[in-house]
Amino acid sequence: MTSPGSETKTLLLGIPSVDEILKGPDGRQWLARFQRKIVVSAVRDVVAERRSALLAGEAADLTREGLSADILRRISALTSFSLRPLINATGIVIHTNLGRAPLSDKILDNVLEVSRGYSNLEYDTASGKRGQRHTHTRSLLRDITGAEDALIVNNNAAAVFLCLYSLARGREVIVSRSELVEIGGSFRVPDVMAASGAVLREVGTTNKTHLRDYENAINEQTGLILKVHQSNYRIRGFTKSIEIEDLAALGGRHSIPVMFDLGSGCLVDLRPYGIHEEPAVPDIVRTGADIITFSGDKLLGGPQGGIILGRKQHVETIRKNPLARAVRIDKMAIAAFEATLMEYRDAENAKKEIPVLAMLLQDRKEIEARAKKMAASLRKKIRGEDIRVIGDSSKAGGGSLPEIEFPTHAVAIRPSAVSVNELEQRLRQGLPPVIARIREDALLLDARTVRDHEIREIVAAVFSALSTS
Ligand SMILES: *Cc1c(COP(=O)(O)O)cnc(C)c1O
């Protein structure tokens, strides 16, 4: 290594020390606003960068303005959150990668209210004794679904695991081959089964399973009959599967509990909207299934959670299992669930107040009006680009209603100066990120999942994405 020449040495002396910067006017301001450790680390980094640049014979901006701007940029990077909001213009309502169900202000207000201070999470104010966190949502769930008993755990994967572990560990669980599904991530029915200590007993074939297949598999080792909602796929053609009613009756005859992992679990009847694939949870409860599990943040539109409904005797066993503690939900989720479930006291109210339901069931005219408003604002700000409103279809997402195309309206942009992929990437990497989809040679901004107040941000984002070339 050669030592720096005298010219570089002089330049190096021009870099202020960390201490000098911290004691200067900018440094004092930053220290008043941010944590000391963060400011010091940002200043150190920038000073070190300047030194290495000079030593490498590169030019380095040593002005106060230049240094301060870089240090402030570093502080912002260190203080900005990793998890942050973005705009979902994909039209996919229950987007697993984008946080699944958005919550209403009313629901969030309850979370804030309960979490800011102390609460009666596990305290019975009437008796002054210890209470149970499950009591806050239990009677609401019973009222809404008609189930005898209810329990909410951390997510549906945990619910399925806990039920299998509590009710069928070391015993056989009968499942149809057509229902050994993978949900995404790493949730695969056979793997969850193995982890729970239950022994998988597959019956039937990929396309057909008969009631006699279940019946023939029953023996003294049988602990549970399990039905799994196929969620994200369908088998078509020459098929047969057994309805939950028939399984419940079969289980009843043999005194074997029957469990249904519903996956999404919708609390309202969607049939008036032409959706027959997702029976409402109260109807499933009425079939006599002993245990029903589903997610809190799919079609229900609440926070993350796994809801377990069922006969008192089974839910009690599950609740008392030591592992129930390991997958219990926290007070913020309970507060969000209670407020969410409260909206379901009246199904018509839920369709308006639960964002997931409101977005899925919103009137096509409403979506079209929003798309037109978005297109008009975009055209006003951005001249000479091909921006138009088109009809298209969007998906429910979250493994729910995979075959249903919801008619929608989107703004289609065919950029003149950049590729559509480039535009998609710039929007995705902006602040806030705007997530769009591409169809053929156009970028689509689906108005179904865009809120009115987001239109301004979208316009600014598209403008800036098209201005930088
Ligand atoms: C989504 C889903 C799960 C997992 O639920 P999470 O709440 O995401 O843990 C389990 N089973 C089925 C059938 C599902 O669709």
Which domains are assigned to the chain?
6-79 (no CATH), 87-95+360-467 (3.90.1150.180), 105-353 (3.40.640.10)
Residue with tokens 């305290």: 123
E strand or H helix that includes residue 228: strand 222-228
Across residues 398-426, what is the average pLDDT? 92
More confident residue, 42 or 402: 42
Task: Name the residue at shortest CA distance from atom 5 of ligand 1.
Answer: 156
Kindly give the distance from the C-alpha atom of residue 5 to the centroid of ligand 1, in angstroms, as a whole number.
65
> 288 in the Ramachandran plot: left (φ > 0), alpha (ψ -120 to 50) or beta?
left
Strands 258-263 and 291-295 turn out to be parallel
- Ligand 1 atom with the shortest distance to the CA of 189: 11
Q: Is the pLDDT of residue 284 over 60?
A: yes
Please give the DSSP secondary-structure letter assigned to residue 229.
Answer: -
Residue 469 is predicted with a pLDDT of 64
Under the banding of pLDDT at 50, 70 and 90, the label for residue 400 is confident
**Percentage of the chain exceeding pLDDT 90:** 86
Q: Which of 295, 300, 401 to mutate to test the pocket of ligand 1 (most atoms within 8 A of CB)?
A: 295
- Ligand 1 atom with the shortest distance to the CA of 399: 15
CA angle 444, 445, 451 (to 5 degrees): 165
Kindly give the distance from the C-alpha atom of residue 409 to the centroid of ligand 1, in angstroms, as a whole number.
29
- Ligand 1 atom with the shortest distance to the CA of 228: 13
Q: Which of 161, 162, 187, 244 to mutate to test the pocket of ligand 1 (most atoms within 8 A of CB)?
A: 187
Kindly give the distance from the C-alpha atom of residue 37 to the centroid of ligand 1, in angstroms, as a whole number.
42
Q: Is the pLDDT of residue 468 over 90?
A: no
Kindly give the distance from the C-alpha atom of residue 248 to the centroid of ligand 1, in angstroms, as a whole number.
21
Across residues 95-119, what is the average pLDDT? 97
C-alpha to C-alpha distance for 399 and 233, rounded to whole angstroms: 8
Kindly give the distance from the C-alpha atom of residue 69 to the centroid of ligand 1, in angstroms, as a whole number.
47
Q: Is the pLDDT of residue 275 over 70?
A: yes
**Which of 192, 193, 199, 229 has its CA nearest to residue 217?**
199
The pLDDT tens digits of the residues spanning 58-82 come to: 989 999 999 999 999 999 999 999 9
Mean pLDDT of the chain: 94
Q: Is the pLDDT of residue 218 over 90?
A: yes
Residue 450 is predicted with a pLDDT of 98
229-238, 249-258, 445-454: which has the minimum mean pLDDT? Answer: 229-238
Residue 181 is predicted with a pLDDT of 86
CA atoms within 13 A on the CB side of 208: 5
Residues with CB under 6 A from ligand 1: 155-157, 160, 183, 187, 228-229, 231, 261, 263-264, 295, 306, 399
- Ligand 1 atom with the shortest distance to the CA of 184: 1
Task: Name the residue at shortest CA distance from atom 1 of ligand 1.
Answer: 263
- Ligand 1 atom with the shortest distance to the CA of 231: 15
Under the banding of pLDDT at 50, 70 and 90, the label for residue 405 is confident
**Which of 178, 181, 177, 141 has its CA nearest to residue 157?**
181
The pLDDT tens digits of the residues spanning 357-398 come to: 999 999 999 999 999 999 999 999 999 999 999 999 988 888
Across residues 32-59, what is the average pLDDT? 95
Kindly give the distance from the C-alpha atom of residue 64 to the centroid of ligand 1, in angstroms, as a whole number.
55
Q: Report CA Rg, the chain.
A: 28
Kindly give the distance from the C-alpha atom of residue 294 to the centroid of ligand 1, in angstroms, as a whole number.
7
C-alpha to C-alpha distance for 439 and 392, rounded to whole angstroms: 10
C-alpha to C-alpha distance for 76 and 359, rounded to whole angstroms: 35
**Percentage of the chain exceeding pLDDT 70:** 99
Kindly give the distance from the C-alpha atom of residue 292 to the centroid of ligand 1, in angstroms, as a whole number.
12
- Ligand 1 atom with the shortest distance to the CA of 306: 7
Under the banding of pLDDT at 50, 70 and 90, the label for residue 236 is confident
Task: Name the residue at shortest CA distance from atom 7 of ligand 1.
Answer: 156
Task: Name the residue at shortest CA distance from atom 11 of ligand 1.
Answer: 263
The pLDDT tens digits of the residues spanning 138-164 come to: 999 999 999 999 999 999 999 999 999
Q: What is the pTM of this model?
A: 0.92
Task: Name the residue at shortest CA distance from atom 2 of ligand 1.
Answer: 263
What is the DSSP track for 72-104? HHHHHHHHS-SS---EE-S--SBBGGGTBS---
Under the banding of pLDDT at 50, 70 and 90, the label for residue 14 is confident
Kindly give the distance from the C-alpha atom of residue 22 to the centroid of ligand 1, in angstroms, as a whole number.
52
Q: Is the pLDDT of residue 1 over 70?
A: no
Q: Is the pLDDT of residue 261 over 90?
A: yes
Tokens of 355: 């964002």
Kindly give the distance from the C-alpha atom of residue 295 to the centroid of ligand 1, in angstroms, as a whole number.
6
C-alpha to C-alpha distance for 229 and 260, rounded to whole angstroms: 8
Tokens of 351: 């369709």
Task: Name the residue at shortest CA distance from atom 8 of ligand 1.
Answer: 156
Under the banding of pLDDT at 50, 70 and 90, the label for residue 280 is very high
Under the banding of pLDDT at 50, 70 and 90, the label for residue 2 is low
Please, which residues bridge with residue 437 across strands?
A: 444
Cβ contacts of residue 149 below 8 Å, gap of 6+? 138, 142, 309, 310, 311, 312, 314, 315, 316
Kindly give the distance from the C-alpha atom of residue 421 to the centroid of ligand 1, in angstroms, as a whole number.
32
ω into 102 cis (within 30 of 0): no
Q: Is the pLDDT of residue 231 over 80?
A: no
